[in-house]
Structure 1
Amino acid sequence: MSGSGIYAISTLINSSIPFLLLPILTRHLTPEEYGVVAVFQVWCSLLGVFCGLNTYGAATRKYYDYDEPERYMGDYVAACVAIMIISSIILTVIMLQLVDPLLKILGLPREWLFAGILVGIGNFLVQLRLRQWQVRKEPMKYGQFQISQSAFNAGLSLLLVLTVSLGVDGRLVGITSSMLLFGVLGAILLWRDKLLTLSWKPELIKDALTFSVPLLPHFIGGFLLLTVDRAVISSILGLEAAGHYMVAAQLALALNLLLQSIHKAYVPWLFERLKQDNCEEKKHIIKISYLYFLGLVIIALFAFIFGKPALIFIAGVEYAPAGDVIGWLVLAQTILGMYFVVSSYLIYAKKTQQISKITILSGAINIVLLLTLLEPYGLAGAAWAMCVGTTVQFLATWFLASRAIAMPWSLKRIIFG
Structure 2
Amino acid sequence: MLFMSLLKGARVYLVSNILNAIIPFLLLPILTRYLSPAEYGQIAMFQTLLAGIGTFIGLNAVGAAERKFYDGDVSETVLKEFNGSCMQILAVSSVLVFICIALFQQQLSEFLAIPTSWVLAAVGISILGFISRIRLGQWQIRNQAKLFGMLQVSSSLINMLLSILFVVVLEQGAEGRIDAQVITGLIATMVALAWLYKDNLLQVRLWRPTYIKEVLAFGVPLMPHSIGGVLLNLYDRFVINQQLGIVDVGIYMVAVQLSSAMLIVFDAINKAYVPWLFERLKHNDAQEKQKIVKNTYIYMVSILLLAGLAFWIGPLFITLIAGDKYKAAGEIIGWLCLGQAFSGMYLMVTNYIFFSKKTSYLACITIIAGLINVILLFVFAKQFGLVGVAMAFTLSKLIHFIMTFYISNNAYKMPWGLKIND
TM-score clears 0.5: yes
SS in 2 for 1:53: coil
Matched, 1:328 2:335: yes
Equivalent residue number for residue 233 of structure 1:
240
Structure 2 equivalent of residue 93 of structure 1: 99
State the secondary structure of the residue aligned to 1:41.
Answer: helix
Deviation at 1:295, TM superposition (A): 3.2
Structure 1 position 320, deviation (Å): 1.0
1:263/1:341 contact within 8 Å kept? yes
Structure 1 residue 347: Cα displacement: 5.0
**Structure 2 residue 124 is the aligned partner of structure 1 residue 115:** no
CA distance 1:347–1:248, change in 2 (3 Å): same
**Superposed displacement of residue 285, structure 1:** 5.7
Q: Which amino acid aligns with 1:81?
A: M
- Kindly state the Cα deviation for residue 271 of structure 1 after the two structures are TM-superposed: 7.6
Matched, 1:295 2:302: yes
CA distance in 1, matches of 2:119, 2:170: 23
The answer to whether the Cα contact below 8 Å between 1:121 and 1:183 also exists between their aligned partners in 2 is no
- Residue equivalent to 2:3: none
Alignment of 1:153-172 (within 5 A): 153-172=159-178
- After TM superposition, the structure 1 stretch with the greater mean CA deviation from structure 2, 9-18 or 258-267, is 258-267
Q: In the superposition, relative to structure 1, how do residues 97 and 350 fare at CA in structure 2: closer, same or farther (>3 Å)?
A: closer
Q: How far apart are 1:66 and its partner, in Å?
A: 8.6
When normalised by structure 2's length, the TM-score is 0.87
RMSD, aligned α-carbons = 2.8
Q: Any stretches of 5+ residues in structure 1 without a counterpart?
A: 411-417
Aligned counterpart, 1:29: 35
TM-score (norm 1): 0.88
Using the TM superposition, give the Cα deviation of residue 362 of structure 1 relative to its aligned residue in structure 2, in angstroms: 1.0
1:397 is aligned with what amino acid?
T
Letter of the 2:218 partner, please give it.
F
Asked if the contact 1:118/1:180 (under 8 Å) is kept, the reply is no
Question: CA offset at residue 406 of structure 1?
Answer: 5.3
Unaligned runs of 5+ in 2: 1-6
- Change in Cα spacing, 1:26 to 1:98, as seen in structure 2 (3 Å) is same
Structure-1 separation of matches of 2:165 and 2:140? 32
2:90 is the alignment partner of 1:84: yes
Q: Do structure 1's residue 141 and structure 2's residue 147 form an aligned pair?
A: yes
Q: How far does residue 290 in structure 1 lie from its aligned partner after superposition?
A: 4.6
Partner of 1:276: 285
Which position in structure 2 is the counterpart of 1:405? 413
Which has the larger displacement, 340-349 or 240-249?
A: 340-349
The number of residue pairs the alignment matches comes to 408
Cα distance in 2 between the residues matched to 1:307 and 1:43: 28
**8 A contact 1:125–1:184 mirrored in 2:** no
Using the alignment, how far apart are the partners of 2:138 and 2:301 within structure 1?
Answer: 38
Overall identity of the aligned pairs, in %: 36
Match of 2:185 in 1: 179
Would the alpha carbon gap of residues 65 and 275 (structure 1) be closer, same or farther in structure 2, given more than 3 Å must change?
closer
CA–CA distance in structure 2, aligned partners of residues 314 and 227 of structure 1: 23
* Alignment partners' CA distance in 1, 2:16 and 2:331: 32
Inter-partner Cα distance in structure 1 for 2:367 and 2:231: 8
Q: What is the alpha-carbon distance in structure 2 between the residues aligned to residue 32 and residue 124 of structure 1?
A: 29
Aligned equivalent of 1:207, options 206, 214, 218: 214
Task: Judge conservation of contact 2:218–2:359 (CA < 8 Å) in 1.
Answer: no
| 1:94 Cα offset (Å) | 1.1
